[in-house]
Amino acid sequence: MLDCKQALLFLYTELGDHTTKQLLDAFIEKRAEWWASNQEPAEGDPLSWLQTLCGADGQSDARLRLWENHSLMQRIAALATERDQVQREAERRRHRKAGNQ
């Protein structure tokens, strides 16, 4: 097992100063939750609780299923096209207005 200094040096080397600080801050902020969740080993461990709560979404990123829904993708594409048209028209109006002044 790595000692604390080696572990910290590993984190700083692999993740950089900023990310390591964020990671450690997040861990320290949640220390009470980790302690409390490990007090009842007969109830299982926190990881198994999360897997049960998340179900299938815990095994794969639910956001990736967006690409499988063709009708939703068509709606998104239509909205993007409409947005582009509205932006182009707004830009034309700004140019016309700027030219009239």
Q: What is the pLDDT of residues 51-98, one digit of tens each?
A: 888 887 777 777 778 888 899 999 999 999 999 999 999 999 999 888
Lowest mean pLDDT among 22-26, 30-34, 40-44: 40-44
Which has more confidence, 18 or 53? 18
Nearest to 46 by CA among 28, 29, 34: 34
DSSP label of 58: G
pLDDT of residue 1: 54
Model confidence at 19: pLDDT above 90: yes
Predicted structure pTM score: 0.38
Instruction: Please measure the distance between the N-terminal and C-terminal CA atoms of the chain and give it in whole angstroms.
Output: 73
| Cβ atoms 46, 38 nearer than 8 A | yes
Residue 70 sits at the vertex; the CA angle it makes with 69 and 74, to the nearest 5 degrees, is 120
